[in-house]
Chains A and B, each alone.
Chain A
Amino acid sequence: MSTFGRLPVVLFRLAAFGSGLLTIAVFLLMLFLGWPLLSGGQFVHLIAEEWSPDRGLYGVFPMVIGSIAIALLALCFSLPISLGTSFVAATLAPRPLRRCLLAMVRFMAGIPTVVYGFVAVFLLVPFMREHLTGGSGLNILTASMILALLIAPTMIVFFVGGLGSVEKSFCLAVDGLGGTKVQKLLYLQLPQAWPAMVAGVVMGLGRAMGDTLISLMLAGNSVAVPHAAIDSGRTLTAHIALVIAADFSSMEFKSIFAAGMILYVFSSVVVVVLRLFTGMAMRPTG
């Protein structure tokens, strides 16, 4: 083949490998810029220390705790609702309603995050302030409630996909034996689809950890280690957004690269775990 004929293929390959290399380059860039803070084995200190610039402590420990607390709490709120909705959308409801429900879930996923946050600031926050938590109304509980809503579509889509991909002949067998829809769901679909269900939960957790706007707008952003759900907290993501305005050369500024690297590693772990579980879902079980 002529050189000209090979050109498109070379360009295709360049695009693919270039995109792959960029993924690594992002990590290296953060490592390079955060290096002054990381060199000399300070990384452990950075993760485990408190945030107290007056005393020269730039640990992101409070933010790690904040991120984990908000994400887990959001998962606790979201999981039952998402499970229930996915049961209805996958099996329990009549067919037209199922389609309708799925379309709505997709629409939910399309609503901009910042809009969820914006509405919550003026609707949920005053409510929390006056009736439930007191204080400013900006706290971990408020943020995780809205975050639960945000990650619900992600989980529902995964759950419905898993429940729906159960072998057709099995489903027909249950129907033929006179099983009800609930029985089909409980004794056939759920045991068959559990890797997909786990994958959905992991995906939801990943999204909850990675979200910036909700926690930035609703969690209060205090740098103390939170001790209760009604405490104000700051997530790693919000920390990056808040500190970026600070002085370029300060140590405070370097800490955002540590936060970025923690988030990068966490989301990569999520992806690898997901791959393991979806690999299991591909293979027929039991």
Chain B
Amino acid sequence: MRRLLEQGVAIFSWSGTLLLLTVLLVLLGYLGYRGAGAVDTGLIFGTIPPLDALLLRRQVFDGLFPAVAGTFALVLLAVGLAAPVGLAAGIYMAEYCRGRSRQVLGLFFDILAGLPSIVVGLAGFSLTIALHRLLPGSLGPCLLISALSLGFLILPYLIRSTQLALESLPPALRLSAPALGATKLQNIRYVLLPARLSAILGGIILATGRAAEDTAVIMLTGAVASAGLPRSLFEQFEALPFFIYYISSQYSDPDELQTGFGAAILLSAVCAVLLLGAFIIEQTLSRRLMR
């Protein structure tokens, strides 16, 4: 009886793994099969020479350039806004916060990390409504609101990764500088942070990936299907994830659909590269610690 159970578990496990791998391969294979033809410079820049588009000499109408630029600006802004706050809060949690307030703050950050992204988007949207009531006509859904909401979404991940990175330092390293007369701040600035810089960087890169792929937040806070290049913080913008969502329901001809598949490949590639970057940084770090 037990032998039967054990054999059953083994068969069950391997077939589950096989099924998961097969489904993943089918999905990715289909994406590659349908989208491979679309991936060239024309996908991003249309018929405009890439250099002209990048230097903003000519506008791109039939390529993904506005969406790519929108996503780039959005993610850069979101991470730029959230990273300093996240790092500071992470340092505070790891080095200063003790007792009851540490538990309460930890719970809040866990709740924040668990919030569905549509709720964060709704919060950003509510903010625009509140602003609209206080100062009529000042601000609608726009790039800035989106970046703020997105930054809020990735904030708990930044805090947690920074906190974990600092807390996992060996005690010997933590104590030697203060023993030589360094203040706590000097210790953090010159010893602890440099020692864990790559882990913190890895956390930031992973958070960047999350910001790049999220669709629910930006569709509530200012992403639209056609807006051209992002010109100002206070205007609506295009973004890759929203473009992909939009195409899936609103495409009008095979060419547009093909561009959609190309965009899906492009976004997956961007996220894969970010993931790989974080992975490599983590690997080099663990090798250095083992030595």
Contacts and interface: CB of A to CB of B under 8 A. Distances in A.
Given A106-B279, A112-B271, A217 B249 contact: yes
Contacts of A277: none
B16 interface: yes
A186 B5 contact: yes
Interface in B3-19: 5-7, 9-10, 12-17, 19
Contacts of A180: 6
Interface in B79-108: 84-86, 88-89, 91-93, 95-97, 104-105, 107-108
A258 B37 CA distance: 45
Given A29-B126, A29-B130, A23 B108 contact: yes
A85 B17 contact: yes
B110 A114 contact: no
B125 interface: yes
Contacts of A185: 9
B89 A16 contact: yes
Contacts of A24: 108
B27 A123 contact: yes
A80 interface: yes
B155 interface: yes
A179 B236 CA distance: 62
Contacts, number: 242
Contact of B116 (A114, A117, A186, A210): A210
A14 B6 CA distance: 55
Interface string A184-207: 011000000000000000000010
B215 interface: yes
Interface in A145-177: 149, 152
Contacts of B9: 87, 182, 185-186
B110 A115 contact: no
Interface residues of A, number: 83
A9 B185 contact: yes
Contacts of A264: 115, 119
B152 interface: yes
Interface in A229-282: 237, 240-241, 244, 248, 256-257, 260, 263-264, 267-268, 270-272, 274-275
A113 interface: yes
B260 A118 contact: yes
Please classify the interface of chain B as helix (H, G, I), strand (E, B), loop, or mixed, using the class held by over half of its residues.
Answer: helix
A50 to B, nearest CB: 22
A16 B115 contact: no
Contacts of A12: 88-89, 91-92, 95-96
Contacts of A89: 17
Contact of B271 (A14, A87, A101, A111): A111
A108 B268 CA distance: 10
Contacts of A211: 116
Interface string B18-33: 0111011011001100
B122 interface: yes
A182 B9 CA distance: 7
27 contacts: A11-B88, A12-B88, A16-B92, A19-B85, A23-B111, A26-B119, A29-B127, A84-B13, A85-B13, A87-B16, A88-B14, A104-B21, A110-B274, A111-B272, A112-B215, A112-B267, A115-B267, A118-B248, A121-B249, A123-B26, A149-B23, A182-B6, A206-B114, A213-B216, A240-B118, A263-B116, A271-B113
Given A9-B92, A123-B27, 15 more contacts: A1-B183, A12-B96, A13-B92, A15-B88, A23-B111, A82-B16, A84-B14, A111-B272, A113-B213, A117-B245, A118-B264, A182-B6, A186-B6, A213-B245, A271-B113
